[in-house]
């Protein structure tokens, strides 16, 4: 892609069977699933110094395990369950309802999750490279054959037989010339959010004074009266896995192309400015927060969408809302479409559309296969979906499940010496079920998410 790099001079670091780029929730699960399905050599490349991507750098709640509503279904399983089990064994998990009724979330300690990812990948025998950024690709006869990574020791090449693009931004596909739609090309791109955590919050006082209802009223007042420079009238907070601590999704930065480092620089700074405006607002206006302060900002501003690759199939809004069924389903999703918008024109800030009857639609395997390609899969934030379908199918239970499906598919394709489009769907689904993946909605709903969790294990 970059012809100013003379790749013949770059040393070869390694040859591998499967190379996964990006160690977010999707990439980690892809690497784990491929090893578990028998792939000998699996490498995972990550630009930051820890695993987990968005799951550890800014969030603390897995959504998408359960459908919303009074009778929740548990619609994700397998490796994602094991991640939660590990967190649970360390006492670092609790279930909590979503602020907007979008289903029960699995709240965890994100710092513990960094260790859990480390331990799971090490135990599985995945070769992990941290502080290694993908900067270019090698193409041989029109086929992706390797990548170039930049490290403090210089540039290195890694050759691989198969690839999973789990970079969130579809960096591998972009460099390999694989077509995609960019967020913002058609519909406005979803807004960006710096999450922040506050300590020393008196949660009992907050709840007894009105909790969420009071918070919303005070936010609206602050915006209308102009007392605090908040970007919007809404925003959520929830208690964390540590006493007296809360985490927020409140900051909103709009109209950013997050693949452009200059726009991203401005967005990072604006996100921090807004976070501290919120801190002042909380301290001044919300009961229970007088002595609180920010103790952590997200490692980087949260990016909801950038590039969405064109796959063998593109999941659509209609698929989500008509509860589509596909023969090649590899995961389920019951999460609502949740579109975070810029409300500067007075429109709605977050637009919701729920899957009917608290059901879950199928996500076909073909959404993970870039159109016409056989050596690469695309998972997580950059899988093949329209803006609206992506706004539903991006919760972490689903991104982990996508990784799981692609990892198994890659292993089968290596084993059979076939391409991504030739993977036998029956065999893939059998392997996924054997891992514990949920490929059909449970027939009897549970009374609570906790019951659903137990019933489906
Ligand atoms: C503000 C915000 C709030 C959200 N809230 C929730 C929530 O509460 N619950 C929920 O379930 N979901 C939530 N989501 C959605 C969900 O978190 C994401 O869709 C999901 O985590 C994406 O996972 P991923 O693995 O595809 O991508 P990421 O987690 O973004 O992982 C991509 C990884 O690739 C690495 N990478 C990128 N480029 C390169 C490169 N060139 N070289 C090497 N490494 C690279 C990154 O560092 C990162 O580790 C939220 C998203 C945002 C932004």
Ligand 1 probe mutation, 49, 167, 406, most atoms within 8 A of CB = 167
Residues with Cβ < 8 Å from 110, sequence gap 6 or more?
A: 52, 55, 56, 57, 59, 60
Instruction: Give the pLDDT confidence score for residue 4 in this predicted structure.
Output: 78
Instruction: Give the pLDDT confidence score for residue 350 in this predicted structure.
Output: 85
Write down the domain spans for the chain: 7-184+305-455, 196-297
Closest residue CA from atom 5 of ligand 1: 59
Q: How many CB atoms lie within 10 A of CB 125?
A: 12
Q: What is the DSSP letter of 191?
A: P
- Going by C-alpha positions, the residue among 409, 396, 397, 395 that lies closest to residue 364 is 409
The pair of three-digit structure tokens given for residue 206, joined into one six-digit string:
């907050």
Instruction: Give the pLDDT confidence score for residue 99 in this predicted structure.
Output: 67
Q: How far apart are CA 198 and CA 247, in angstroms?
A: 6
Q: Does ligand 1 lie within 6 Å of residue 29's CB atom? A: no
Report the separation in Å between the CA atom of 23 and the middle of ligand 1, taken as the mean of its atom positions.
Answer: 9
Are the C-beta atoms of residues 449 and 347 closer than 8 Å to each other?
A: no
Q: How far apart are CA 382 and CA 170, in angstroms?
A: 6
Q: Do the bridges between strand 154-165 and strand 376-378 make them parallel or antiparallel, or are there none, so unpaired?
A: parallel
Q: How far apart are CA 143 and CA 63, in angstroms?
A: 36
Instruction: Give the pLDDT confidence score for residue 447 in this predicted structure.
Output: 64
Residue 136 bridge partners (DSSP): 148
Q: What is the DSSP letter of 369?
A: S
Where b means 16+ CB within 10 Å and e means fewer, 83-109 reads bbebbeeeebbbbeebeeebbbbbbbb
What is the Cβ-side half-sphere exposure of residue 167, based on CA atoms within 13 angstroms?
24
Kindly give the confidence (pLDDT) of every residue in the chain, 457 residues in length, as a single tens digit, with 9 standing for 90 and above: 677 778 889 999 999 999 999 999 999 999 999 999 999 999 999 999 999 999 999 999 999 999 998 888 999 999 999 999 999 999 989 998 776 777 899 999 999 999 999 999 999 999 999 999 999 999 999 999 999 999 999 999 999 999 999 999 999 999 999 999 999 999 999 999 999 999 999 999 999 999 999 999 999 999 999 999 999 888 899 999 999 999 999 999 999 999 999 999 999 999 999 999 999 999 999 999 999 999 999 999 999 999 999 999 999 999 999 999 999 999 999 999 999 888 766 667 788 999 999 899 999 999 999 999 999 999 999 999 999 999 999 999 999 999 999 999 999 999 999 999 999 999 999 999 999 999 999 887 776 677 777 666 5
Report the separation in Å between the CA atom of 304 and the middle of ligand 1, taken as the mean of its atom positions.
Answer: 8
Whether CATH 2.40.420.20 fits 7-184+305-455: no
Q: What is the DSSP letter of 358?
A: G
Instruction: Give the pLDDT confidence score for residue 455 in this predicted structure.
Output: 67
**Residue length of the chain:** 457
Sign of the Cα pseudo-torsion (437, 443, 388, 99, in order): negative
Q: Does ligand 1 lie within 6 Å of residue 21's CB atom? A: yes
Closest residue CA from atom 45 of ligand 1: 22
């Amino acid at each position: 892609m970059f012809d100013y790099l003379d790749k013949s001079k770059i040393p070869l670091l390694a040859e591998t069977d499967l190379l996964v780029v990006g160690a977010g929730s999707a990439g980690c699960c892809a690497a784990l699933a491929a090893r578990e399905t028998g792939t000998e050599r699996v490498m995972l490349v990550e630009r930051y110094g820890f695993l987990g991507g968005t799951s550890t750098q800014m969030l603390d709640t897995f959504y998408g395990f359960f459908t919303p509503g009074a009778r929740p279904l548990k619609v994700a399983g397998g490796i994602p369950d094991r991640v939660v089990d590990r967190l649970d064994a360390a006492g670092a998990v609790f279930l909590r309802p979503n602020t907007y009724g979008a289903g029960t979330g699995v709240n965890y300690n994100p710092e513990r999750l960094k260790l859990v990812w480390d331990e799971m990948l090490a135990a599985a025998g995945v070769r992990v490279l941290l502080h290694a950024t993908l900067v270019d690709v090698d193409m041989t006869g029109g086929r992706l054959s390797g990548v170039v990574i930049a490290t403090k020791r210089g540039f290195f090449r890694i050759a691989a037989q198969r690839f999973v693009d789990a970079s969130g931004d579809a960096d591998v596909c972009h460099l390999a010339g694989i077509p995609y739609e960019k967020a913002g090309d058609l519909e406005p791109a979803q807004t960006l959010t710096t999450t922040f955590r506050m300590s020393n919050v008196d949660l009992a006082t907050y709840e007894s004074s009105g909790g969420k209802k009071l918070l919303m009223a005070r936010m609206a007042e602050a915006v209308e009266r102009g007392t605090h420079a908040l970007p919007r009238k809404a925003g959520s907070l929830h208690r964390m896995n540590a006493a007296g601590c809360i985490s927020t999704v409140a900051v909103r930065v709009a109209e950013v192309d997050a693949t452009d480092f200059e726009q991203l620089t401005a967005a990072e700074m604006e996100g921090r400015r807004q976070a501290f405006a919120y801190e002042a607002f909380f301290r001044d206006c919300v009961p229970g927060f007088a002595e609180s302060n920010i103790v952590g900002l997200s490692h980087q501003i949260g990016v909801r969408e950038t590039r969405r690759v064109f796959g063998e199939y593109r999941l659509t809004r209609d698929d989500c809302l008509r509860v589509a069924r596909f023969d090649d389903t590899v995961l389920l999703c019951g999460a609502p479409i949740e579109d975070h918008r810029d409300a500067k024109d007075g429109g709605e800030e977050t637009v919701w559309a729920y899957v009917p009857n608290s059901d879950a639609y199928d996500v076909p395997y073909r959404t993970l296969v870039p159109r016409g390609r056989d050596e690469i899969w695309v998972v997580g934030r950059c899988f093949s979906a329209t803006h609206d379908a992506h706004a539903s199918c991006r919760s972490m239970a689903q991104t982990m499940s996508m990784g799981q499906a692609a990892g198994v598919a890659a292993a089968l394709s290596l084993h059979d010496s076939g391409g991504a489009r030739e993977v036998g769907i029956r065999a893939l689904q059998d392997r996924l079920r054997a891992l514990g993946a949920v490929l059909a909605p449970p027939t009897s709903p549970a009374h609570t998410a906790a019951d659903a969790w137990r019933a489906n294990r």
